[in-house]
Amino acid sequence: MVNQSSVTEFVLMGFSDDPDLQILHSMMFLIVYITALIGNSLIITAVAADRNLHSPMYYFLVNLSILDICSISTTVPKSIAVSLTNNKVISFAGCVTQTFLIIIFVGGELALLTIMAYDRYVAICHPLQYRLIMNWNACIQMVAISFVLNLIHAVLETSLTFRLDFCKSNVIGQYFCDIPQLQKISCTDTKFNETLILVSGFFLDSFIFAFIFASYTYIFSAVMKIPSVQSRHKVFSTCIPHLAVFSLFIITAVFSYMRPKSLSTPVVDLLSAVLYTILPPVLNPIIYSFRNKDLQKALRSLKSNHFTT
C-alpha cells in the first residue's frame, strides 16, 4: 500500500505486451504523427505565404493547426517511446504536465471551433459589417480570452485530479495520463471530481452545441436565399468542413469524458481516447483542404514555388 506522497511515477499501459505488436503500434503511431505534423504545418505555411488568406477565418485555422500539432505531440511521442523501449514509466511530474497540456489543447480546440462558427455566421449573415465586427483586435482578443479561460480550467482540473490519493495502484490503463483513468486507480472517493466533470461538461457542451446549432441554422437559411449556385457552393465549401470537424471532435470528446461507467472497458477506453486525441489532428487538415479551393490553390502555389526553387 502506498499513498500519494510515495507515488513518484505511474505506469502507462501500452496497446500490447507482444513485441511484434509493439513495433506495429509504434510504426502506425509514427506514420500518424508525421502525417499530422506535415498536414498542419502545410496549412500554417500556406496561409502565412499567401496574402489572400490573411483573413480572420484562416487566422483561426492556423491557430487550430498549431493546437493540433501541440495536442498530438503531447501523447503520441511518449506512446511510441513506450512501445520501442518497453519502458512504460512516466514520472509523477510528467503525468501532471501531460494531463495539464491535454486539457489546455483539447479545450482550446473546442473554443476555437466555436469562435470559427461565429466567424462564419458574421461573414454570411452580416457581410457588410464583417470587417467591423471581426477586426484583428477582436480576433486576437477572442483567441487570448479562450486561452486564459482554458488555462484556468486546466489548473483547476489538474489540481483536483492530483489531490487524489493513489494507494491502490499506479498503473494507468491508457497510453497517456487521462483523467478518467487516474480517477479509476485512486483510492479516494472521486464522486466530487466525476460530478464536477459531468455538470460542467453538460452545461458547457450544451451551450456550445446550442450556439453552433443556432449559428448554422442562420447560416444555412441565409445560404438558401443566395440565387447564385456558384456562390452557394463557395459558402458551403467553407462551412461544411468546419461542421464536420466540430461534430467529430465534440462527439468523441464527450463520449470519452461523460460516458456511463457501464460502457467503460479497456478496448472502448482506448478507442475513444484515440478518436479525440489523435484522429482530429490528422483529419482536420484533410477536411479543411478537401473542399476549400482557396486553400488548395495556396497549397499548389506553395508546392510549385518549392520545386522552382
pLDDT single digits (tens) 164-216: 888 778 888 888 998 888 888 888 888 888 888 888 878 887 888 888 889 88
Task: Give the global pTM.
Answer: 0.87
Q: pLDDT-based confidence at 32, cuts 50/70/90?
A: very high
Q: In terms of Cα–Cα distance, which of 250, 282, 229 is closest to 69?
A: 282
pLDDT value for 156: 92
Contact assessment for residue 203 and residue 44, using Cβ atoms and an 8 Å cutoff: no
Terminal alpha carbon distance of the chain: 64
Whole-angstrom Cα distance, residue 85 to residue 91? 16
| Per-residue pLDDT tens digits for 88-99 | 899 999 999 999
CB 83 within 8 A of CB 26: yes
* Residue 7 contacts residue 186 (beta carbons within 8 Å): no
Nearest-angstrom CA–CA distance, 63 and 260? 33
Assess contact for 98 and 157: CB atoms under 8 A.
no
Q: What is the pLDDT of residues 253-266, one digit of tens each?
A: 777 777 666 666 77
Contact call for residues 288 and 43 (beta carbons, < 8 A): yes
